[in-house]
Amino acid sequence: MFSLFNPLQTGALKLPNRILMAPLTRCRADADHNPTPLMAEYYAQRASAGLIIAEATMVMEGNSSFWMEPGIYSEAQAQGWKAVTDAVHAKGGQIVLQLWHGGRACHPLLNGGIQPVAPSAIPITGDEVHTPEGKKPYVTPRELRDDEIPGIVAGFKKAAENAKAAGFDGVEVHGANGYLLDEFLRDGANKRTGPYGGSIENRARLMLEVLDAVISVWGADRVGLRISPLNSYNSMIDSDPVAVTTYIAEQVNARGLAYLHVMRSDFSQAQQGDVMTPARAAFKGVLVGNMGYTADEADKAIASGQLDAVAFGVPFLANPDLPARIAAKAELNAPDAARFYSPGPKGYTDYPALSAA
């Protein structure tokens, strides 16, 4: 019987424990989307994670969805990330980068006036995006033409190459939360006809083309994929989340990926359901669960074989030494939500470790 503290072979990576750090957007890069020394300090503080999955990172210029999120499309960005990976490795940690295209969540005010792209011309509603001019409604995206899709795949591939040069241990493809690849996957956002719309096979095509391009750079055993079949964040919905989960799990099996990372529920709880049982039934490799697990629940899920590892988001943000705290059954620091996305070290690198608390 395994627990959170048993090592785990994940593709080519040997993880010392199964307490992973989930990717967390923190907006501490600079205005040119270059990672900063502060980010190196933050990630190095969290090096005791079984694996750090670094935050969503722009694969192509002109696709910013947040202010000050990092990129990996330029030489300067790759150099900034190299300082991050060096700092994590110096503390004995391992870190993969989450490769991301924001799709319709991007905003012209963040991108020199450029209209965002998406599978279909359907905007995100009921929420607003932070821009240099304050909060603004999302705009209606432009429908990508089929002949533009190879350019998107090439963007992910170049970003994967840059991530390798930056010293990461692998990459995770961001297929979740209503960003470009997820927009293609789920039928609420994808009303296309042709090779990238309609059937699940067609809607998953872009995600799988991206995976294959990234695998050609890294090898499948250093590539993970994250999906969120139930999350309604960013106006997302699908008519059959279980079918989507099963199809992706089968496709990932065929490719021998390092891991599949599944967000089990919905940020707002609007959509209910169980995608973890079908994910476990279909997927033969390392299954990582995420979203609201307590340490106890995570341990039980691993002991029962339901999951192989759990990614913790908010608890890791507020507790740089989360594995030690879980091991000691110590109290956790409370997260400061007002500083999740604010600039500077406050609420970022100033959460105390146990020894300092």
- How far is residue 328's CA from residue 35's CA, in Å, rounded to a whole number? 33
Q: In the complex with ligand PHB, which residue's Cβ is closer, 2 or 340?
A: 340
Q: How far is the CB of 24 from ligand PHB (least distance, A)?
A: 8
- How far is residue 79's CA from residue 38's CA, in Å, rounded to a whole number? 14
Residues with catalytic annotation? 179
Does the protein bind ligand PHB through residue 21 (CB under 6 A)?
no
Please identify which residue in 17, 25, 48, 120 interacts with ligand PHB, judged by CB under 6 A. 25
The H-assigned helical ranges of the chain are 37-45, 75-90, 149-165, 180-185, 200-203, 205-218, 241-255, 276-282, 295-303, 314-318, 322-327
Does the protein bind ligand PHB through residue 177 (CB under 6 A)?
yes
Does the protein bind ligand PHB through residue 10 (CB under 6 A)?
no
Of 326, 310, 245, 321, the closest CA to residue 282 belongs to: 245
Q: In the complex with ligand PHB, which residue's Cβ is closer, 48 or 231?
A: 231
Instruction: Please list every residue from 46 through 85 that binds ligand PHB, using CB under 6 A.
Output: 56
Please identify which residue in 152, 171, 176, 291 interacts with ligand PHB, judged by CB under 6 A. 176
Does the protein bind ligand PHB through residue 223 (CB under 6 A)?
no
Amino acid at 245: T
Closest-approach residue to ligand PHB (CB):
177
Of 113, 105, 241, 124, the closest CA to residue 174 belongs to: 105
Strand segments (E) across 7-133: 8-10, 13-15, 19-21, 52-58, 95-100, 117-118, 128-131
Q: How far is the CB of 25 from ligand PHB (least distance, A)?
A: 4
Site string for ligand PHB, 187-206 (x = CB under 6 A): --------------------
Q: How far is the CB of 227 from ligand PHB (least distance, A)?
A: 11
Q: In the complex with ligand PHB, which residue's Cβ is closer, 48 or 290?
A: 290
Does the protein bind ligand PHB through residue 232 (CB under 6 A)?
no
Q: In the complex with ligand PHB, which residue's Cβ is closer, 268 or 304?
A: 268
Q: In the complex with ligand PHB, which residue's Cβ is closer, 85 or 177?
A: 177
- How far is residue 37's CA from residue 305's CA, in Å, rounded to a whole number? 39
Q: Write the CB contacts of 350 (distance below 8 Å, at least 6 apart in sequence).
A: none
57 touches 64 (CB < 8 A): no
Instruction: Please list every residue from 306 through 335 that binds ligand PHB, using CB under 6 A.
Output: none
How many residues of this chain interact with ligand PHB, rule: CB under 6 A?
Answer: 4
Q: In the complex with ligand PHB, which residue's Cβ is closer, 22 or 44?
A: 22
Helix axes 205-218, 149-165, angle to 10 degrees: 30
Residues in contact with ligand PHB by the rule CB under 6 A? 25, 56, 176-177
